[in-house]
């Protein structure tokens, strides 16, 4: 069983809040995490009719008889659970009483915000990171190509992995998203996803996407809101600073799981990635996701941005925690040319940053000058991220 890095944050939240919600995309391992870390807790799965009926028959009485150490999977299946939990925890604000799991659902978000605000700590669980898989002997190229969803790694054959990813995407657009009350056309949604795979890593232009789909940019934005809520895409926001320069205001769009990205782009074998024109953008998104996910587990208040002027100077990633900031450039090659670091140097100069990092695909750490250090991608697999401010 692969140890999840989110276990530390889960334990911290349990010491702080009476209710902890573990959320994330479907099939990312939420139930498995709760089972591994809380083996002696009672567990109900609300996707099972018997468990749902057991809880709903006498909800208040059940919570009174089970005042602590209770895990409720797929909590969004029973909306009346949230006000009942509020009443239960308000009687006794002891930390670590209940753990809920659930994927994105309007009812889940509404129940948490309306009934459990201030009473619940949230742990966002992502698919397997490269650092979590490092002890399995898996090569980085395999994790990069296939993504991180746990069921993929229970399948050895490439054809079976590709079939699982196809079923995952199909189920998402035809069952999971419509099942939450979103009236989005599955075929149009699938077409949008395929389009996004070819603009991955680019500035978002909702008007262009809308024109290609035959809908308004507002409709595209609504579709993107849903996809982001399902943890499928990331809209990385630009960093703004009063530096007297015109800065880009549009976010950059990334498909969060690299395996889903490659599947949507029509890649079915790791060798296909070697000749894909978007290979560099895929690597950039893969490394950004690795850094952002692990940074937020280690320092939950950290925020992520990119920086770009309208003249084209750019830094791929900025991490900010309070007044501390660090800028990064991400390159697939082992020896990026000096001109490829101009944007990073400009960003550091404009924002007054003393340190910056080049994350590269080669080997070895080295100082480059101007406060920039080159770090190989493998160093991100260390216990603590070396780039955290």
The contacts of residue 241 (CB under 8 Å, 6+ apart) are 247, 350, 351
- DSSP three-state, residue 351: helix
Please tell me what DSSP assigns to residue 338.
G
Question: pTM value?
Answer: 0.93
Mean pLDDT of the chain: 91
Question: pLDDT (tens digit, 9 = 90+) per residue, 308-366?
Answer: 988 888 999 999 999 899 999 999 987 677 677 899 999 999 999 988 999 998 888 88
Show which of 268, 285, 302 is a domain's final residue.
Answer: 285
CA–CA separation, 82 and 127 (whole Å): 27
- Could you tell me the maximum CA-CA distance found in the chain, to the nearest angstrom? 67
CA–CA separation, 303 and 295 (whole Å): 9
Same domain for 148 and 281, yes or no, is yes
Question: pLDDT (tens digit, 9 = 90+) per residue, 47-64?
Answer: 999 999 999 999 999 999
Q: Domain range spanning residue 220?
A: 133-285
Average pLDDT over residues 371-385: 87
Number of domains the chain is built from: 3
Q: Is the pLDDT of residue 181 over 80?
A: no
Query: Does 115 reside within a domain?
Result: yes
Whether 149 contacts 128, CB under 8 Å: yes
Residue 185 C-alpha from the chain's centroid: 24
Show which of 285, 310, 334 is a domain's final residue.
Answer: 285
Q: Which two tokens stand for residue 368?
A: 């480059």
Backbone angles phi, psi at 99, to 5 degrees: -125, 130
Same domain for 138 and 64, yes or no, is no
Q: Which two tokens stand for residue 286?
A: 């893969």
Specify the higher pLDDT residue, 111 or 352.
352
Query: Does 386 reside within a domain?
Result: no
């Amino acid at each position: 069983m692969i140890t999840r890095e989110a276990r530390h944050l889960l334990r911290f939240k349990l010491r702080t809040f009476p209710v902890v919600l573990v959320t994330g995309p479907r099939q990312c391992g939420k139930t498995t995490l709760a089972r591994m870390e809380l083996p002696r807790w009672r567990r109900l799965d609300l996707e099972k009719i018997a468990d749902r009926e057991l809880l709903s028959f006498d909800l208040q009485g059940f919570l009174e008889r089970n005042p602590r150490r209770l895990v409720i999977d797929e909590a969004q299946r029973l909306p009346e659970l949230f006000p009942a939990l509020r009443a239960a925890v308000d009687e006794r604000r002891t930390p670590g009483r209940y753990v809920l799991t659930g994927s994105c659902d309007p009812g889940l978000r509404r129940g948490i915000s309306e009934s459990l605000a201030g009473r619940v700590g949230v742990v966002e669980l992502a698919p397997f990171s490269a650092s979590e898989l490092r002890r399995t002997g898996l090569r980085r190229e395999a994790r990069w190509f296939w993504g991180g969803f746990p069921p993929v790694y229970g399948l050895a054959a490439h054809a079976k992995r590709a079939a699982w990813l196809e079923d995952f995407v199909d189920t998402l657009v035809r069952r999971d998203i419509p099942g939450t009350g979103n009236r989005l056309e599955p075929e149009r949604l699938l077409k949008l996803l395929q389009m996004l795979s070819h603009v991955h890593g680019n500035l978002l232009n909702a008007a262009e996407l809308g024109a290609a789909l035959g809908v308004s940019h507002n409709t595209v934005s609504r579709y993107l809101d849903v996809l982001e809520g399902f943890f499928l895409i990331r809209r990385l926001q630009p960093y703004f600073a009063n530096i007297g320069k015109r800065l880009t205001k549009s976010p950059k769009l990334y498909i969060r799981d690299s395996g889903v990205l490659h599947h949507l782009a029509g890649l079915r074998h790791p060798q296909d990635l070697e000749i894909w024109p978007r290979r560099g953008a895929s690597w950039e998104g893969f490394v950004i996701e690795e850094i952002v996910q692990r940074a937020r587990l280690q320092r939950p208040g950290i925020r992520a941005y990119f920086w770009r002027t309208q003249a084209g100077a750019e830094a791929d990633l900025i991490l900010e925690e309070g007044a501390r900031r660090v800028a990064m450039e991400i390159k697939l090659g082992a020896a990026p040319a000096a001109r490829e670091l101009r944007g990073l140097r400009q960003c550091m100069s404009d924002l007054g940053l003393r340190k910056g990092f080049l994350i590269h695909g080669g080997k070895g750490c080295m100082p480059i000058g101007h406060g920039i250090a080159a770090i190989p991608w493998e160093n991100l697999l260390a216990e603590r991220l070396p780039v955290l401010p």
